[in-house]
Chain A
Amino acid sequence: MAMSKRKKAQYRRIAVYVLSIVALLAVALVVDWGRLQSAMFQWDIVVDQFPGILTSAAKNTIIFTIFGFAGGLSFGLLFALMRLSTVRPYRWFAATYIEIFRGIPLLVTLLILGFGIPIATGWHWPNPYVQGAVPLALVASAYMAETIRAGIEAVPKGQMEAARSLGMSYSRAMISIIIPQALRIIVPPLTNEFVLLIKDTSLISVLGVTAGTRDLARFGRDGVNHTANATPLIVAGLVYLAMTVPLTQLVAWMERREKAASR
């Protein structure tokens, strides 16, 4: 029996749909939902997590993220401009900085800066928020510098030439013409960077936490310890999603707008 290509594709698609439904049914029937729920989502434990998980843990996560992002963006912009500079020492310094802080895992950076520097110099971190946010900002700035640089380079070269020929200095042209156009390109990846930072804050607790400085992941882990149940971790995961999903949706919306606008 000879089937046309379209018919074959149609049958194949139906087969995939049927198989997916069968697989879902199999999972629904095989999994012991009662046991899963008692191990991972007991309602009384869920309720116990609030309000502490929001008023203390999520608050700390947001504080770390915002400081990390603000610092990362400012230094990221600085290093991006240095990378594009005509002055070779600037270029060299920025490139080295970016390589180092992108190449070392955040956990190691936190430990080296959090403990190593005070031990080596005798200088102390003024408070745990600064101790956690500064390494985070330094690493974030390395990644953002590359994103910003790519954005600036994506602006057509004609823009800089036109600006210069109108008599603007290099900095004037950068500030008024190039960077505003670059921003349209880099806002989606920078928002992604913000989402990544939210998750990176989960490592800061390695530097030691007091009851007041626990971040969301630490709060969840302590909860597991106290209740001998995985529910607190699931709740923490859901709170993370509550923070990151709106942001990723925002990025998707921005990208759709960008696509429509640039047509």
Chain B
Amino acid sequence: MARTTRLLASLAALSFVVASCGGSSSSSDTTAAASTGTQELKFTPIAEGKLTVCSDAPYEPFEFQNEDKTWTGFDMDIMTAIAQRYGLALEVTVQPFDGIWLAPKAGTCDVVASSLTITEERAANAAFSEGYFDSFQSLLVRTADKDTLNSLASLSGKTVAVQTGTTGEEYAKTNAPDAKIQSFDDAAAMFLALESKQVDAVLQDFPINAFRAIKMGTSVVSIKFDTESEKYGFAASQDNTELVKAINESLAEFRTNGVYDGIYKKYFG
């Protein structure tokens, strides 16, 4: 009897240890960084030696993984460059986009790199870097509808898919009040809904829609709302001023030494 009790107790203890190591529903990958010619590290990352990045991935062409599982994309390439500049390795945790800018405050990562538009509402709870990319909203429709669903007015009575918590959702609610708006928490589900004809259009950032149109070939961007541009920013916790400074300094350097232009050309020609 005593032996079985001891065995059960040790099994229970072991399972607690394993469970606490397992952690949350996220996946992470690391890439090694060069350790020569690096800047001085003035901020404290949550995991020593690593820059932990939260992202809602995959979200081509900004954050996605290569065949060999290394992180790439416009956002991730910039993040890798920043991490290398400070002699850190890049670690990415994936989570849904909804409320992702609150993650640094909650301590799950140092910074958010997820095609995150800078808005006042978000800036109230997170510290944004300088804008690093200009974007605007657009409509993705099935190829057959490209000439009929090409304006906000044409969406009246139609079903539009948006991703929860995005500026696209806000834009749709403000500018297409007669449309039926369906919110998805997963970008993949939105595009599936367009294919299955559950929705008639997807209102999302232009680069995402454009990339999707090229990749799938069954849909096309019918209109770009380029009169209202928005800027993407990296978000950190509000008390992590050193990290925000470091990111801004890095971005300024990349714009002058051609690193930014190189990354931009890689994805946007």
Contact = CB atoms under 8 A, between A and B. Distances in A.
Nearest to B192: A115
Interface in B209-230: none
Interface string A100-131: 00000000000100011011001011000000
Contact of A209 (B183, B190, B195): B183
Nearest to B195: A119
Contacts, number: 61
Interface stretch (A181-189, A222-230, A252-260): A222-230
B98 A225 contact: yes
A248 interface: no
A234 to B, nearest CB: 15
Contact of B197 (A111, A124, A206, A222): A124
Interface string B18-61: 00000000000000000000000000000000000000000000
Contacts of A118: 196-198
Contacts of A122: 197
A211 B98 CA distance: 16
Contact of A208 (B98, B99, B184, B195): B184
A207 B99 contact: no
Contacts of B180: 210
Contact of A224 (B99, B192, B197): B99
Contacts of B199: 208
Interface residues of A, number: 20
Nearest to B96: A221
A205 interface: yes
Contact of B182 (A111, A115, A124, A209): A209
Interface in B136-162: 161
B24 to A, nearest CB: 15
A206 B186 contact: yes
Nearest to A209: B183
B170 to A, nearest CB: 11
A135 to B, nearest CB: 14
Given A224-B99, A225-B165, A228-B124, A206 B193 contact: no
Interface string A169-202: 0000000000000000000000000000000000
B125 interface: yes
A11 to B, nearest CB: 20
B125 A228 contact: yes
Given A115-B198, A119-B195, A124-B197, A228 B102 contact: yes
A59 B136 CA distance: 37
A210 B182 contact: yes
B164 interface: yes
A224 B101 CA distance: 12
A207 B198 CA distance: 10
B181 A115 contact: no
Contacts of A116: 196
Contacts of A115: 189, 192-193, 195-196, 198
B137 to A, nearest CB: 18
B191 to A, nearest CB: 10
Nearest to A110: B189
A47 to B, nearest CB: 21
Contacts of B192: 111, 115, 119
Given A222-B164, A225-B98, A208 B196 contact: no
B181 A210 contact: yes
15 contacts: A115-B198, A118-B196, A118-B198, A119-B196, A125-B198, A206-B184, A208-B161, A208-B182, A208-B183, A208-B193, A210-B180, A210-B181, A224-B98, A224-B99, A228-B124
Interface of B: 98-99, 102, 124-125, 161, 164-165, 180-186, 189-190, 192-193, 195-199
Given A119-B196, A221-B185, A225-B98, 10 more contacts: A115-B198, A124-B197, A205-B185, A208-B183, A208-B189, A211-B181, A221-B98, A224-B98, A225-B99, A228-B102
